[in-house]
Each structure stands twice: as C-alpha cells, then as structure tokens.
C-alpha cells in the first residue's frame, strides 16, 4: 500500500510540476500586446472580407499596380502565417506535425480531419492553403 | 518548416531583387577592379583593344546566360513568384487516399510475453465537393508462447472499425451515416490510432461509453464553428441501433458530445453524455480536457467517465525534449510520457470493463526517428485487489500516406 501511495504521489507530482512549468513558461514567454500583432490580426480579419471591403494601402507613392502586387504578396504571406498558426493549434492537439503531402491528397486528408477533429471550415481553408504552398 | 519558409522568403526576395541587380553588382566590381589595375600598371596600347573585346565578350556571355536563366526559371517581371502566387483552393480536387499505420509491440505483462503486430489501413474516398467515404480496418494478433509448443502462436483478428459516409451539409454541420466511432470522450475518436497515442496501452476507462466494438451503427450530426474571436465550439449528436453481427456489433443508444476550444491558449474542454436505450437504460457522463501550451512542447490530456458498469479517469502528460540545452540532436526527437489512471467497478457487471477496481501508473519514453516512424517504450505498475503487476512495453510504429491518384494539381 505504501508503494502504491508513493507511486501515486510521484505521478501526481510529475503531472503537477508539468502544469506549473507550462503555466510559468507560458507567462514568461508571452509577449506584451503590440501593434504588429493587432495589425496582423486586423489584416487577417480583413482578408476574410470581400476585396472591395479591404482596407486601402497607406502608401500613396506606390502605383496602383505595384500597390496591388505588394498587397497581394503581403496578404498571401499573412494568410500563410495564419494557416501555420491554425495548423499548430488544431492538428497539434492530437499528433505531431506531418509532412506536406501532394495538394490533392492534402485536400482529402483535411476533409477527413474536418469531420474527425471537428475543425471549423475557416481553419480548414487556412490550413489547406498553408499545407499546399 | 519554419526554416524552409525563411529560405523560401530569401529566395523569393532574391528573385525580386533580381538577377539583373546581382549582375550589375558583379559588373561594377569587375569594372572597378579593371580600372584600378589600369591605373597601377599601364597597359600597352595594342593590348587595350583585345582586353576591351574580351571584357565585352565575358559580359555578353554572362548577361546572356543570366537572361536565359531568368526566362527559364523565374516568372516575368512585374509578376509574383510562384511562392507568392495565391493558390485557388477550389481548384484542388481531392483524390482517394490510403493511409496505413503499422506497429509491432512487445508486451511483458506479469512475466508473460505478448507479441502484438498490428496493421491498420484507412481509406478515404472523396466524392464531389461535399461527400467523403472513410473506412478503417484492423488486422492484429496477440501472439503468446503456448505450453508444449515452440515459438509464439495466435490468430489474426480482423475488424472493420468504421465505415461511414459523410455529407458536409453546411460549413457548420456534417451528416454521417454508417458505422462510426462513438464520440464519447476524445480518446476513441482522436487518440486511438497507434501512431498518435503516446502510450501503447489503452486507458482503463476506454470501454466506457464507446459500445461493444468501439463503434456505433446509425447516424450522427457533427460540426464545429467559431463562436467568437476567442473560442470555437464543436459538437456531435448521434443515434445508434442494436447490431449483434460480430465483430460489427453495436448497442442501441443515443448521445452527444460538446466541446469548447480556445485556439490562443490551445485549450479544449468538453463533456459527453449518452443514454443507453437497452438493458438498464442508464445514463453515462464524461468530461475531457486537452491543453498544449503554445510556448512549450507539452501535451496535457485528461478524461473522466462515469457509468453504471464503472467509472474512472486518466490524466496524461507528454513532454518533447526540444528545449533541453544539451544533446539536442538526440533529445529533440525524444518524448517522455507519464499517465495515471484509476478505474472503479460499478453496480452492474460487464464483460467490457475490468472486473475489479484498478489503479495504474505508466511512464514512457518515445523516440521519433522521422515523421511517421517512432520507437516507444513504457513501464507501468498496476495495482489491483488480486495482485499488483508490472507491464513493460516496447513498440515500433510506422505511418505512411499513399494518394490513390495524381496528387499534384493539374
């Protein structure tokens, strides 16, 4: 019985220390809220809106063509970054990161995971974009 | 993958900065070097023409090669590189996929050795834009040494774990019919595959709420949606009919599961409910939790289950040693796992659960050779009224994915 209690206490202490370490590390590493993060969040939110509702670029000197090209690059990178975040948050809940499979296979796998892991449609699209580019 | 992204960005920027810029800088260096030498040692007049001609030829050759290379490898000016080209997701037509996981486990349980090979193919067949047929089978065997016979002996067991047809009715709802894994808790649906689970053994409470063969036969509605900017909601509601056709048997029951997922904290909590429509018509309850701190390679998972046949809980933590400052080449592939669990028998006896109340503690070390290939080892101590025992496990798991068609987008 003593042995059983000792193992029980040891396992409980191990799990508790993991939780405490995780919380402490999380608080230590969490950066303070800054403008880039919020602006990126606004940008990703804006990307979900129709094109004519997106915020216009503030660079007045750029030509419309350069402006749209730069905006496209920036939007696409922001989408990819957001896709990586969603990938780690959703897929990492259960398993390690898989490699990138061919796009059409990835589309099937994500349809399967949408049903299996109940990920949202928005998350599926962003993860698919991240995993196929 | 992050490193690949950085490299790709650098390559894309180099493309945008352009080979012309690179050529111009080389050209300037060559010209300035030549002009310096010219200042230091005067060149005879008859050689200047040859030198000029040779330099012009060299520059012409370089520029021609660069231009050809540019036209062959890079997009035309004023266009985005392929890296930055937005891909039309609707143009990606899914193809059938075969995903197979295999394992070879050796279990030393109370002095008896079990060899447990396992092969689990999963077939995914998409139809159109909204349909998916998915099925998983299992071929496994429990090989043991029999008295009077040499070697290990056993029979191959074949199971059809699920075969379901999914219809994605709306972005928030999917309708499933057929034989599906019973969504009670999270282990049976998400963590059961041998290449996903952190410890080779099942939790003691796994049989509670999932039916006689881990699956139900009937219909289910499930989905997930973003409730607001901070959390997502997921749900599953199902009905199962009675089936006595072994090994595809199922109970007559109805139930549901709901969960809240907070992406920023990577925390999911939820609960399950089930009402048995046969036998004692009892109710079953369960709660689950999963947390992966964003800044740590740590997994924390826990489940509880309560029913008339038994109740209990398990809590598991797994830590990947990627942040250890020494021996990183080896330790970043290593994961340490601990799990504690308790099971208490209920007032109604059942064959699906343990006959006695049991406590168990397990510790494991996993090593990831590469994606899909992993070595597992664990030690567990089981405490039960009829006696305590040790359970040692060694296993090798492998998973691979095969597209059953052309994988690239046309």
CA neighbor of A11 nearest in space, from B314, B365, B206, B204: B314
B6 touches chain A (CB under 8 A): no
pLDDT tens digit sequence for B236-265: 999 999 998 887 889 999 999 999 999 999
Chain-wide mean pLDDT for chain B?
80
**Looking at the predicted structure, is the pLDDT value of residue B25 above 70?**
no
* Residues of chain A contacting B359 with CB distance shorter than 8 Å: 4, 8
Question: Does the residue B85 lie in any domain?
Answer: no
Q: What average pLDDT does this structure show over B158-179?
A: 94
B54 and B165 assigned to the same domain:
no
Residue B324 domain-assigned (yes or no): yes
Residue A30: is its pLDDT beyond 70?
A: no
The pLDDT mean for chain A works out to 69
Buried b (16+ CB within 10 A) or exposed e, B64-80: eebeeebeeebeeeeeb
Select the more confidently predicted residue: A51 or B369.
Answer: B369
Decide if B329 is inside a domain.
yes
pLDDT digits (tens, 9 = 90+) for B89-138: 777 889 999 999 999 999 998 888 999 999 999 999 999 889 999 999 99
Residue B371: predicted pLDDT: 77
B379 shares its domain with B234 = yes
For residues B74 and B103, state if they share a domain.
no
CB contact under 8 A, B97 and A105: yes
Q: Is residue B410 part of a domain?
A: no
Burial profile B135-151: b = 16 or more Cβ within 10 angstroms, e = fewer: bbebebbbbeeeeeeee
- With bands split at pLDDT 50, 70 and 90, how would you rate the model's confidence at A101? confident
- Do B293 and B373 belong to one domain? yes
Task: Give the model's pLDDT for residue B212.
Answer: 84
Which residue is closest to A86 within chain B, CA to CA?
Answer: B263
Residue B175 lies in a domain: yes
Of the spans A20-24, B25-29, B147-151, B395-399, which averages the highest pLDDT?
Answer: B395-399
- pTM for this prediction: 0.72
pLDDT at B199 over 80: yes
Q: Is residue B330 part of a domain?
A: yes
Average pLDDT on B213-230 reads 91
Comparing A83-97, B11-25, B170-184, B318-332, the range with the smallest average pLDDT is B11-25
Q: Is pLDDT larger for residue B394 or for residue B89?
A: B394
- The alpha-carbon gap from A13 to the nearest alpha carbon of chain B, in Å, equals 11
Contact B92 A4 (CB under 8 A): no
pLDDT of residue A132: 84
Nearest to B89 among A90, A115, A125 (CB): A125
Helix (H, G, I), strand (E, B) or coil at B350: coil
Higher pLDDT, B82 or B117: B117
The whole domain housing B326 covers: 96-403
- What is the share, in percent, of chain B residues with pLDDT greater than 90? 60
B252-275 burial, b at 16+ Cβ within 10 Å, e below that, comes to bbebbbebebebeebbbbbebbbe
How far apart (Å, rounded) are the C-alpha atoms in residues B30 and B59?
10
Confidence band, pLDDT 50/70/90 cuts, at residue B290: very high
Residue contact B407–A105, C-beta within 8 A:
yes
Q: Would the pLDDT of B218 be above 50?
A: yes
Does residue B164 carry a pLDDT above 90? yes
Say if residue B176 is in the same domain as residue B306: yes
Tell me whether A109 touches chain B (CB under 8 Å): yes
Distance CA A22, CA A10 (A): 18
Which one of B29, B52, B79 terminates a domain? B79
Q: Looking at the predicted structure, is the pLDDT value of residue B148 above 70?
A: yes
**What is the tally of structural domains in chain B?**
2
Domain map (residue ranges) of chain A:
68-133
Q: Do B203 and B102 share a structural domain? A: yes
User: Measuring CA to CA, which residue among A42, A49, A128 is closest to residue A90?
Assistant: A128
The residue among B49, B79, B109 that closes a domain is: B79
Q: CA torsion B191→B197→B201→B202, rounded to 10°?
A: -10
Q: Which of B22, B45, B79 is the last residue of a domain?
A: B79
Mutate: best of A19, A26, A30, A105, partner B, most B CBs <10 A: A105
Structure ipTM: 0.75
A80 CA: distance to closest CA in chain B (Å): 10
Burial profile B378-393: b = 16 or more Cβ within 10 angstroms, e = fewer: bebbbbeeeeeeebeb
pLDDT at position A28: 59
Burial of B208: CB neighbours in 10 Å, binned 0-12, 13-18, 19+ = buried
Higher pLDDT among residues A133 and B68, named by residue: A133
Q: What is the mean pLDDT of residues B271-278?
A: 94
pLDDT at B71: 33
A16 in reach of chain B (CB within 8 A): no
pLDDT at A14 over 80: no
pLDDT at residue B62, rounded to an integer: 36
Is B236 a domain residue? yes
Q: Between these two residues, B258 and B37, which has the higher pLDDT value?
A: B258
Instruction: Encode pLDDT of B318-369 as tens digits.
Output: 999 988 888 888 899 999 999 999 999 999 988 889 999 999 999 999 999 9
The answer to which of A62-76, B59-73, B243-257 has the lowest mean pLDDT is: B59-73
Q: Report the C-alpha gap between A18 and B335 in whole angstroms.
A: 13
């Amino acid at each position: 019985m003593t042995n059983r209690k000792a193992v029980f206490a040891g396992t409980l202490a191990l799990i508790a220390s993991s939780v405490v370490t995780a919380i402490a590390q999380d608080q230590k590493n969490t950066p303070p809220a800054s403008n880039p993060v919020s602006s990126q969040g606004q940008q990703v939110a804006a990307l979900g809106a129709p094109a004519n509702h997106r915020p216009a670029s503030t660079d007045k000197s750029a030509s419309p063509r350069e402006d749209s090209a730069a905006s496209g690059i920036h939007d696409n990178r922001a989408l990819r970054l957001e896709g990586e975040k969603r990938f780690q948050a959703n897929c990492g809940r259960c398993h390690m990161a898989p490699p990138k499979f061919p796009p059409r296979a990835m589309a099937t796998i994500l349809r399967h995971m949408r049903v299996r892991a109940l990920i949202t449609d928005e998350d599926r699209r962003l993860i698919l974009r991240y995993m196929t580019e | 993958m992050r490193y690949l992204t950085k490299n790709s960005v650098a390559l894309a920027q180099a493309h945008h900065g352009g080979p012309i810029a690179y050529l111009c800088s080389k050209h300037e260096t060559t010209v300035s070097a030549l002009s310096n030498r010219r200042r230091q040692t005067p060149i005879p007049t008859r050689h200047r023409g040859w030198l000029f001609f040779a330099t012009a030829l060299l520059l012409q050759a370089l520029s021609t090669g660069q231009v050809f290379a540019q036209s062959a490898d890079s997009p035309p000016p004023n266009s985005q590189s392929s890296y930055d080209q937005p891909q039309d997701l609707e143009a990606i037509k899914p193809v059938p996929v075969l995903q197979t996981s295999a394992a070879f486990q050796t279990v030393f349980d109370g002095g008896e050795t079990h060899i447990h090979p396992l092969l689990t193919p999963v077939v995914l067949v998409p139809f159109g834009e909204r349909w998916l047929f998915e099925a998983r089978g299992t071929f496994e065997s429990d090989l043991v040494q029999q008295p009077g016979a040499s070697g290990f002996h056993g029979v191959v067991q074949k199971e059809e774990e699920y075969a379901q047809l999914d219809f994605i009715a709306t972005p928030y709802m999917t309708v499933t019919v057929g034989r599906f894994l019973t969504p009670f808790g999270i282990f049976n649906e998400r963590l059961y595959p041998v290449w996903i689970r952190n410890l080779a053994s099942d939790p003691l409470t796994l049989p509670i709420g999932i039916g006689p063969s881990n699956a139900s036969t009937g219909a289910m509605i499930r989905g997930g949606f973003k409730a607001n900017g901070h959390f997502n909601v997921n749900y599953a509601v199902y009905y199962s009919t009675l089936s006595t056709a072994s090994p595809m048997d199922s109970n007559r029951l109805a139930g549901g599961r709901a969960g809240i997922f907070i992406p920023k904290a990577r925390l999911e909590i939820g609960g399950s409910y089930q009402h048995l429509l046969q036998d004692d018509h009892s109710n079953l309850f369960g709660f689950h939790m999963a947390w992966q701190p964003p800044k740590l390679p740590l997994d924390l998972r826990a489940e509880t289950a309560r029913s008339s046949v038994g109740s209990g809980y398990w809590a598991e933590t797994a830590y990947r040693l990627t942040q250890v400052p020494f021996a990183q080449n080896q330790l970043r592939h290593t994961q340490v796992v601990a799990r504690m669990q308790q099971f208490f028998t209920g007032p109604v006896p059942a064959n699906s659960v343990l006959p006695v109340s049991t406590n168990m503690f397990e510790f494991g070390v996993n090593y990831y050779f590469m994606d899909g290939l992993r070595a597992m080892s664990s030690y567990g101590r089981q405490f039960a009224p009829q006696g305590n025992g040790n359970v040692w496990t060694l296993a090798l798991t492998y998973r691979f994915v095969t597209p059953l068609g052309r994988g690239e987008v046309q």
